[in-house]
Amino acid sequence: MLAGGVFATQGGNPAMAGFDADGSDARAIAIADEVMAALGGRAAWDDTRFLTWSFFGRRTHVWDKQSGDLRYDDGDRLVLMNLNTKEGKVFENGQELEGAAKDEALHDTESAWINDSYWVFMPYKLKDTGVTLKYAGTGSTAAGESADILELTFKGVGRTPDNKYHVYVEESSRLVTQWDYYQVATDAEPRFQIPWKDWQRKGSILLSANRGERQHENVAVLEDVPETVFRSPEPVDLLDYAK
């Protein structure tokens, strides 16, 4: 950490192709780099392959960040798909779906993954494709903590490109401590404010499961996950593979 509470970027943090660098503020980009460094660094994030979490205890994802393979289970529906090819298998109460029902389920699963993964990994995605970052000044979270505020908007990406977020970055730790969600970027007030609390080391990175009144469950980095996790509907104890 540098003087004044500013983190040095570790090994760089290049933007993803399509990040709106021209429309973003230099200060906001620098803070995004500090966040990545505080989380463990870009190299640690890139090297992290297998991740799992249960979105507020409702649906469980196992994600191979390298291949795009996903295992999704909400108790009634089990999906084994690849997020890049959009292909896979769907089981509804143990019965495999085909045709239009399968296609719809694959689309819905991808939508769930887009939403649910953002609720866990957003701080790693501040310089993603289609993102514009602006520095919105300093302020206080609902808990009274001082923070730098990043305004995050989207250009033609995702299922809800009109959304806007205010992302609160704590002054000393440079970790995200709150986000404010605006359904439409022009809205004057957020639909909700949610804390990001209790950052914990998982593998080589930091992850947060605590969102105030609700919490994600079984958030973990996995290692040596067998191929059958993404190919077979048979039950699996994922935490056997947690780092």
pLDDT, tens digit, for every residue of 143-177? 999 999 999 999 877 777 789 999 999 999 999 99
| Token pair in block for residue 106 | 């694959």
How many whole angstroms separate alpha carbon 200 and alpha carbon 92? 34
CA 19 to chain centre: 16
Average pLDDT of the chain, as a whole number: 93
Q: What is the band of 182 on the pLDDT scale with cuts at 50, 70, 90?
A: very high
> Which two structure tokens, joined as six digits, stand for 224?
């040596």
Task: Give yes or no for residue 4 having a pLDDT over 50.
Answer: no
The answer to whether residues 218 and 116 touch, using CB atoms and an 8 Å cutoff, is no
Can you give the pTM of this predicted structure? 0.92
pLDDT given for residue 243 in this prediction:
81
Interval 190-202: pLDDT, tens: 999 999 999 999 9
Instruction: Enumerate the β-bridge partners of residue 195.
Output: 178
Q: Rounded mean pLDDT of 1-20?
A: 62
CB 54 within 8 A of CB 46: no
Segment 233-239 mean pLDDT: 92
Average pLDDT over residues 82-103: 97
Q: Note the residue count of the chain.
A: 243
pLDDT at 86: 97
* DSSP helix/strand/coil, 93: coil
71 close to 57: Cβ distance less than 8 angstroms: no
Q: What integer is the mean pLDDT of 216-236?
A: 96
Residue owning tokens 């992290």: 48
CATH of region 18-232? 2.50.20
CA-based nearest residue to 154, from 185, 132, 135, 136: 132
CA atoms within 13 A on the CB side of 37: 20
Q: Which contacts qualify for 14-19: CB closer than 8 Å, 24 or more apart?
A: 14/42, 14/127, 15/127, 16/127, 16/128, 16/129, 17/129, 18/129, 18/130, 18/157, 19/127, 19/128, 19/129, 19/130, 19/131
Checking if the pLDDT of 205 tops 70, the result is yes
Name, in order, each residue with C-beta under 8 angstroms of 179's C-beta and a sequence gap of 6 or more: 122, 165, 166, 167, 168, 193, 194, 196
> Domains of the chain: which residue ranges?
18-232
Is residue 120's pLDDT more than 70?
A: yes
The predicted-structure confidence for 42-61, as pLDDT tens digits, reads as follows 999 999 999 999 999 999 99
**Which residue from 8, 23, 2 is spatially nearest to 151, judged by alpha carbons?**
23
